[in-house]
Structure 1
């Protein structure tokens, strides 16, 4: 049980495995200002940057769950580097079925709502771990501009236009799930550039070091196509944000 190697290649230098900058993560933490006694569950936590930095900055504690052994190794190293290893722990597991042993004040899934087969299922999964009055954090893409043709949809790595909603409709969707949206911090085009462009350098460096690897042809093809695809489609049409929800 692990992520395909292509993920760890393209995101090898990333601390945040989504189009959020460190500054925006700080903004999100300041916006919700968790108290030091808050316990956090972060499903599909990636390299654990949110959990580790919030443990340092806000004194929270908690658990991150991810399927990637490579990412979890990075998360544990980050916790040690920030001197918060006694506050946070990481579990190698399929986050799609993970429920906290004890309810938490913040339950998060930032950029991986496929663990619940979409937003609705992910909200229901997070609810199973949440204390009354707690907060859910959902990281989710949306249409920044509505695509006018199927070529644009596929250029954004979607199958159909209905795979995503425009921002107002996404907020309405949260409301239909009996949630109040109480905060949001959105990525911008520069955030997307930092996330996407760093992948190109990671791929190029990996190709230079591993020219005969069985994955090399696939990664070379991705590097050839990715910059233009990002500039033509993803940068213009895809939005992304972290939405803070509370049960009504």
Structure 2
């Protein structure tokens, strides 16, 4: 049970597996007005940076669930490093369909809404783990600039322009589905650079260490094309943000 190999290679040195920076997560924790002993469920928790730093800075407790054994192991190590392992736990399993045994103050899926078949399925899944009066966090892409063709959308990581909404449309969708948007923090182009560009050195070092691996030609192709694709497409067309929602 694991995510595709290219992600465990390209993001093996990442602490954050999305376009947020440490500063953006600090801002998000502050504006959510976190208080000690709030419990947070994080589906698709990656290497655990959100839960671990919030446990350190705000004394929350949390549970993270992720499909990658590598990232789950890194999350546990980060909890030990920050001395919060008694406050947060990380589970290696498929987050699809995961519902907390006890309702949570915050139920989050930050950048992994594919786990429930997309945004709407993930909203429904998170709501099952939420206390009355609790908040949901959704990390989701949106178009800063709508692609002119399917080919441009695919270069941005989508299949077609219809896959993502513009920011006003995304916020409007939350309203239509019966949620108040009570906060949001948006990534910027620097965050995209840190997420995407950090992969390139990792890929290059992996190729140097594994020249005869059968996967090496694919890694070489990705490394060759990714910088050009990022500066031409992702950086210019794709926005990303975390939205705090409360059901009405």
TM bucket by the smaller chain? over 0.9
CA contact (8 A) 1:34 1:58 kept: yes
Deviation at 1:151, TM superposition (A): 2.1
What value does the CA root-mean-square deviation take over the aligned residues? Answer: 0.7
1:99-123 Cα distance to aligned partner (Å, 9 max, x none): 0000000000000000111111101
TM-score normalised according to structure 1 size:
0.99
CA contact (8 A) 1:33 1:58 kept: no
Aligned partners of 2:211 and 2:108: how far apart in 1? 38
Aligned partners of 2:93 and 2:174: how far apart in 1? 27
SS where residue 96 of structure 2 aligns? helix
Aligned to 1:113: 113
Aligned partners of 1:149 and 1:94: how far apart in 2? 34
Deviation at 1:150, TM superposition (A): 2.1
Deviation at 1:6, TM superposition (A): 1.0
Aligned to 1:53: 53
Deviation at 1:93, TM superposition (A): 1.1
CA contact (8 A) 2:149 2:160 kept: no
CA contact (8 A) 1:184 1:241 kept: yes
CA contact (8 A) 1:41 1:106 kept: yes
TM-score normalised according to structure 2 size:
0.99
Aligned to 1:247: 247
Within-5 A mapping of 1:25-104: 25-104=25-104
Aligned to 1:128: 128
* 2:161 is aligned with 1:161: yes
Q: Which portions of structure 1, spanning 4 or more consecutive aligned residues, are displaced by more than 3 angstroms?
A: none
Aligned to 1:206: 206
List runs of 5+ in structure 2 lacking aligned partners. none
Give the length in aligned residue pairs: 248
